[in-house]
Amino acid sequence: MKKKIIAGVLAIACSLSLMGCDANVSDKFKGLIGDKSSSPITVTIIDHPVEAKQDGQVLATGNYAEVILSEDSAKTFPNLNSSLEEYSNNWREGCENTVAEYGGYALNDEDNVEGKYVDETTFELVRADSRLFTLLGSSYYSSGGAHPNHYNFSLNLDVTTGHVINLSEVVNNKDKLVDAIRNKVYEKYPENKEEIENYYICECATDEDPFKTMMDDNTYTWTLTDEGLHIYFSPYEIASYAAGEMDVVVTEDDLPGFIQDAFKQKSHQDISALLTTEKADVTTVEPSEYNYDEYDEENDRGVSIENPTWKRYVSDKAKPAAAKHITLTETSKETTDWLSTEVWAEKNGFELPFLSYGDGNYYYAPGNGGEYGYEFTTIFLYDYEVNDLLHTYDLAELCNGPDQEENEYSATTQYVRWAKAMDGVLYVSLGHNGYASEEPWSNYMVAIDMSTDKVLWRSEPLVSNASNFQIVDDTIICGYGFTEEPDYLYLLDKNTGEKVDQIKLVTGPEQIEVRDDTLYVATYNTAYTYKINR
Tens-digit pLDDT profile for residues 458-479: 999 999 999 999 999 999 999 9
Fold (CATH) for 172-259: Actin; Chain A, domain 4 (3.90.640)
Rounded to an integer, what distance in angstroms lies between the CA atom of residue 484 and that of residue 293?
48
Out of 24-38, 67-81, 98-112, give the one with best mean pLDDT. Answer: 67-81
Higher pLDDT, residue 359 or 144: 359
Task: Pick left, alpha or beta for residue 304 (phi over 0 → left; psi -120 to 50 → alpha; otherwise beta).
Answer: beta
- Give yes or no for residue 494 having a pLDDT over 90: yes
Q: Please tell me the least confidently modeled range out of 235-239, 243-247, 376-380, 439-443.
A: 235-239
Instruction: Report the pLDDT value the prediction gives residue 372, as an integer from 0 to 100.
Output: 58
DSSP letters for 93-145: HHHHHHHHHHHHHHHT-TT--TTSEEEEEEEEEEEESSSEEEEEEEEEEEESS
How do residues 509-528 score in pLDDT, each as one tens digit? 999 999 999 999 999 999 99
Rounded to an integer, what distance in angstroms lies between the CA atom of residue 414 and that of residue 352?
22
Mean pLDDT of the chain: 86
Three-state SS at 78: helix
Say yes or no: do domains 172-259 and 300-533 share a fold: no
How do residues 153-178 score in pLDDT, each as one tens digit? 999 999 999 999 999 899 998 999 99
Rounded to an integer, what distance in angstroms lies between the CA atom of residue 441 and that of residue 481?
15
Fold (CATH) for 1-25+36-163+272-290: Heat Shock Protein 90 (3.30.565)
Q: Please tell me the least confidently modeled range out of 20-24, 88-92, 182-186.
A: 20-24
Instruction: Report the pLDDT value the prediction gives residue 1, as an integer from 0 to 100.
Output: 35
Instruction: Report the pLDDT value the prediction gives residue 347, as an integer from 0 to 100.
Output: 93
How do residues 12-57 score in pLDDT, each as one tens digit? 333 333 333 333 333 333 333 334 444 679 999 999 999 999 988 9
- Domain range summary for the chain, segments of one domain joined by +: 1-25+36-163+272-290, 172-259, 300-533
CATH class of 300-533: mainly beta
